[in-house]
Structure 1
Amino acid sequence: MTRIITLFCIFIAQIGFSQTADSYLEKIRNNEALLTAFFQQMPKGGDLHHHFSGSVYAEPLLERAIAEDFYLNLETMAVSKTKPEKGNWQTFSSLKNDGKLDYYQQQVMQTWSVKDYNGSVPSDDQFFDSFMKFEPTIAGHFAEGMLELKKRAIAENVSYIETQLSTIPCDMNVSDLTDFNTKLRQAAIQKDEKAVTKLLDELYKSIQKKDAKKYADDFNNNFIAKLHKDLKMDDERFTMRYQNFVLRFMEPVDLFKNLIIAFISSSESKLTAGVNIVSPEHGENSMKDYWLHMEMFKYCHSKFPNVKYTLHAGELTLGLVQPEDLTWHINDAIHIAGANRIGHGVDIAYEANSYDLLKYMSKNNIPIEINLVSNEFILKVKENRHPFTLYKEFNVPIVISTDDAGILRSNMTEQYVLLAKRYQDVNYETIKKYVYNSINYSFIQDESVKKQLIKDLDNRFKAFEAKFSKN
């Protein structure tokens, strides 16, 4: 990177830079080294589609596993603090003593991330399966990861991250409510909204009686607020906020319980910027319960109308699911759930009445979170197969995000390099607009914080664009 920036500076000196940032960008469209130097230094605002555990690079996680002498499964490359009963597990210290540590370090890196990916397993499996394999290294070490992300963001001129940090721990016993799983799914099959709402009303009352609020309060006060304050995450260079999220693969009662707690948390803390839903959208429960999940978000919105939420929707492509399953996920996320932003939205061209849907998103300022590197690796969707141009044509607000930069071995700079190289009709002013979108459409609850980030962005762009003025 140092050599690239040096090359950039030499080039500036050679040409005297009598042109604007816009005209310079047009000259370097097809040179990735020059594009990288340009976008590395350009202010990039916020990263709004950001999974904490997938954004920490594998190297520090592996170092931690070795330092704490975790057990390694020699077949799957999963790690554990204690030795599981089944499987071929060995400690890292024993691997070192046997002279095998270097070999397995390489295997771990290739399993916990896309490093040296060779297509031996499907790309979506490679990506989604990695999380649980390294997850034990994150527990108890959120601080180290947060500081790593802050340091990296500052280095590449990113001023804000809205990260999905952690699920909210909850040991609430809902065994007496399991009958609702069947009842909710039966009502969902019939698309009986009234029946679903009635069942959710009953569930909501039961969950409230089980003191759902205490889990939200504990998370807000003893985890989020404490970490945020102790680490001094907010300063004049950087700001971080946190999205609560629930897991799509859970049974309906468990998911709804967690969703209620997530909404309570976000309604009572200015640090928790909204709610999300994650896990593979093409998973069995994700597909089977998708409509039901959207109804759950709609219900939660009726109880907590001030809480914003963004939904992973349409992270699908032809061949991954049946064609008819590409036609309704974004529609339902917007028209039923009432999502404030959409994450991925890759299947938009297949959605029923897609033009009307795009017009609705534009009219109602519902942004799309574009994740170019992620969509290319997981879904094999890139260049003119990617719907970026479709969203742009219909003036849907666009924000550029990383998704999971650690697993994908990427960063925010690379997203903009790909954007500029692949879509050459997107000029500098439009790219700059996307950067401002990432703050304007953020879920920051404190308007004074948002205004300060915009002011800071103004100053950063002024300094950046001054590099292109006459000497």
Structure 2
Amino acid sequence: MTRIITIFCILIAQLGFSQSAASHLEKIRNNEALLTAFFQQMPKGGDLHHHFSGSVYAEPLLERAIAEDFYLNLETMAVSKTKPENGNWENFSSLTKKGKLGYYEQQIMQTWSVKDYNGSVPSDDQFFDSFQKFEPTIKGHFAEGMLELKKRAISENVLYIETQLSTIPCDMNVSDLTDFNTKLRQVATQKDEKAVLKLLDELYKSLQKKDAKKYAEDFNTNFIAKLHKDLKMDDENFTMRYQNFVLRFMEPVDLFKNLVIAFISSSESKLTAGVNIVSPEHGQTSMKDYWLHMVMFKYCHSKFPDVKYTLHAGELTLGLVQPEELTWHINDAIYVAGANRIGHGVDIAYEANSYDLLKYMSQKNIPIEINLASNEFILKVKENRHPFTLYKEFNVPIVISTDDAGILRSNMTEQYVLLAKRYPDVNYETIKKYVYNSINYSFIQDESVKKQLIKDLDNRFKTFEAKFSKN
């Protein structure tokens, strides 16, 4: 009886803390500065929709380009380690001598990120084009970026990041398999899933003969495991895992080759938390091959059933593509590919049978990764145009993420500020649930690691909520 009373008292105390924090949130909901202070300190669990290269801020990338005397394209603001043959390129040391460095630094910051964005180019172009401009500064410097992200996460009380770190290097010669590109697209046009799966099976066997597994093993051992261990990424304050990913704009054979290797990698390493597919969803090849890509994921799942995968789906809106193209991407990501999570999902209101789709996501516990700042900048979708409330009303599990905080000049705290400010019906307990979702729905393979993160989250919330009980 004494033990029961003790447990009851603890629960009451915890509820009191929570209600005090909840009351404070309601008082400050319309003040952005107060919200920022509140959410900066609140434990924020994990960031599950996270692109490594887009999450590193432009300042250290620019410093690196200057220090290593990269060449700068004076028209596009792209950089290169060596001087390309075509274009107007000049190295940073030369610009410094001429007294022009400051002028170009400002332009670079405005091109590599959304800093001071003035609408001179379409927002989606501004965002997606930035990656290739600074990409040369990332190569060989993953460690610096990982440590920057860890430091920032700890400072704003984020326990976990599930980042898309790098594609898996692969020099496999598949020139003898290029006929499959035409064959796959022909049967995909007919939506003949059985024929596609048969071709993929032939292609898979050919890739096995070319020793696809060695590329996955090399990546796991000599890149992921080595970096993770050398940098001591996991400690009592922080944990990081890595999603493998493939690029939508590639030809079918190359994409499938990379997808198979990505699945092999994730199946053999506890550090690789699943697979993803990236690049602009509205790109020409992305749109043309979208259904084919979904069948590829379905096929790989049949070979590696324990590997989880989240798919960028529905990162589209009216005007970006033709209206009929808004009706099927999330449907196919879930019903065809069998995605375990969905990233963005912005076009859900336009999807065919959207209510049934939302009910299915809720019943099957398929979370939606909500990226408020990203969706606002890239798609111009925000507030009541954003489908957040639609997902909430249908009880689809929700996780809050940053997407590309470096390019977007944002952080995890801002995502929660936007959430609380724009959706006043979302109370503290619901927000807290989203925080826990970000750990519970993570792709962490080691259950003991996940349990420890939940325990840490419990303790952090107790400390955070105790601050308000004393007020």
Whether the 8 Å CA contact 1:367–1:399 is kept in 2: the answer is yes
State how far apart, in whole Å, the 1-side matches of 2:161 and 2:198 are.
38
**8 Å contact from structure 2 (residues 17, 466) kept in 1:** no
**Contact preservation (8 Å) 2:17, 2:465:** no
Q: Which string of whole-angstrom CA distances, capped at 9 and with x for unpartnered residues, describes residues 173-231 of structure 1?
A: 00000000000000000001111011001100000100000000000000000000000
1:374-425 CA-to-partner distances (Å, cap 9, x unmatched) read 0000000000000000000000000000000000000000000000000000
* Moved >4 Å (runs of 4+): 1-19
Q: Which runs of 5 or more structure 1 residues have no equivalent in the other structure?
A: none
Measure how far apart 1:95 and its partner are. 0.4
Task: Calculate the TM-score normalised by the size of structure 1.
Answer: 0.96
Confirm or deny: 8 A CA contact 1:317 1:347 kept in the other structure. yes
CA deviation digits over 1:233-253, x for unaligned, max 9? 000000000000000000000
Q: CA deviation at 1:3?
A: 45
Give the deviation of 1:154 after TM superposition. 0.0
The C-alpha deviation readout for 1:256-275, integer Å capped at 9, x for no partner, is 00000000000000000000
Change (3 A) 1:3 1:187: farther
Given that residues 8 and 34 in structure 1 are in contact (C-alpha distance below 8 angstroms), is that contact kept between their aligned partners in structure 2? no
TM-aligned CA deviation for residue 5 of structure 1: 38
Do the aligned partners of 1:397 and 1:437 also contact (CA within 8 Å) in 2? Answer: yes
3-state SS of the aligned residue for 1:121?
coil
> How many percent of aligned residue pairs carry the same amino acid?
92
Distance 1:51 1:423 in 2: 26
Root-mean-square deviation (Å):
5.8
For the residues of structure 2 that align with 1:46 and 1:102, how far apart are their CA atoms?
A: 37
Alpha-carbon distance change, 319 to 6 in structure 1, aligned in 2, over 3 angstroms = farther
Write the deviation string for residues 295-321 of structure 1: whole angstroms up to 9, x where unpaired. 000000000000000000000000000
Pair 1:9–1:88, CA change in 2 (3 A): farther
Tell me the secondary structure at the aligned position of residue 245 of structure 1: strand
Q: Give, in whole Å, the separation in 2 of the partners of 1:164 and 1:470.
A: 41
Displacement of 1:470 in angstroms is 3.1
Gap regions ≥5 residues in structure 2: none
Q: Per-residue deviation at 1:158?
A: 0.1
Q: Taking structure 1 as reference, are residues 15 and 226 closer, same or farther at Cα in structure 2, changes over 3 Å only?
A: closer
Q: Return closer, same or farther for 1:17/1:342 CA change in 2, 3 Å cut-off.
A: closer
Aligned-partner Cα distance in 2 for 1:459–1:4: 21
Please name the residue that 1:449 is paired with.
449
- 2:17, 2:462 within 8 Å by CA — same for their partners in 1? no
Change (3 A) 1:117 1:152: same
- How far apart in 2 are the matches of 1:244 and 1:15? 40
Does the CA contact (< 8 Å) of 1:71 and 1:83 recur in 2?
yes
- Kindly indicate whether the alpha-carbon contact (under 8 Å) linking 2:375 and 2:382 is maintained by their aligned counterparts in 1: yes
**After the TM superposition, which residues 42-61 of structure 1 pair with which residues of structure 2 at under 5 Å, given as runs?**
42-61=42-61
Q: SS at the partner of 1:265? A: helix
| Inter-partner Cα distance in structure 2 for 1:248 and 1:62 | 28
CA apart distance, 1:10: 29
Instruction: Calculate the TM-score normalised by the size of structure 2.
Output: 0.96
Alpha-carbon separation, structure 2, partners of 1:9 and 1:108: 57
Change (3 A) 1:10 1:270: closer
- Check the 8 A contact 1:16/1:470 in 2, yes or no: no
1:343-363 deviations in Å (ceiling 9; x for gaps):
000000000000000000000
Preserved CA contact (<8 Å) 1:159 1:237:
yes
Q: Secondary structure at the match of 1:118?
A: coil
Judged with a 3 Å threshold, the aligned counterparts in structure 2 of structure 1 residues 89 and 451 are, in CA distance, closer, same or farther, namely same
Would you say the 8 A contact 2:14–2:462 is kept in 1?
Answer: no
CA distance in 2 between partners of 1:263 and 1:18 (Å): 41
Post-superposition CA distance 1:38-76 (Å, at most 9, x none): 000000000000000000000000000000000000000
CA contact (8 A) 1:244 1:276 kept: yes
In 2, are the aligned partners of 1:4 and 1:36 still within 8 Å (CA)? no
Which SS does the other structure have where 2:357 is aligned? helix
Q: Count matched residues.
A: 471
Q: Which moved more, 1:189-198 or 1:239-248?
A: 189-198
Change beyond 3 A, Cα 1:464–1:230:
same
Work out whether residues 81 and 136 of structure 2, in 8 Å CA contact, stay in contact via their aligned partners in 1.
yes
Alpha-carbon distance in structure 2 between the residues aligned to 1:112 and 1:31: 31
1:9 CA displacement? 28
SS at match of 1:108: helix
1:428-439 equivalent positions in 2, closer than 5 A: 428-439=428-439
Do the aligned partners of residues 5 and 53 (structure 1) sit closer, same or farther apart at CA in structure 2, a change above 3 Å counting?
farther
Q: Deviations over 1:115-155 (max 9, x none)?
A: 00000000000000000000000000000000000000000
Q: For 2:245, what is the secondary structure of its paired residue?
A: strand
Shift of 1:8: 32
Shift in CA distance, 74/5, structure 1 to aligned 2, threshold 3 Å: farther
Deviation of 1:16 (Å): 15
Residue matched to 1:393: 393
**How far apart in 1 are the matches of 2:155 and 2:8?**
17
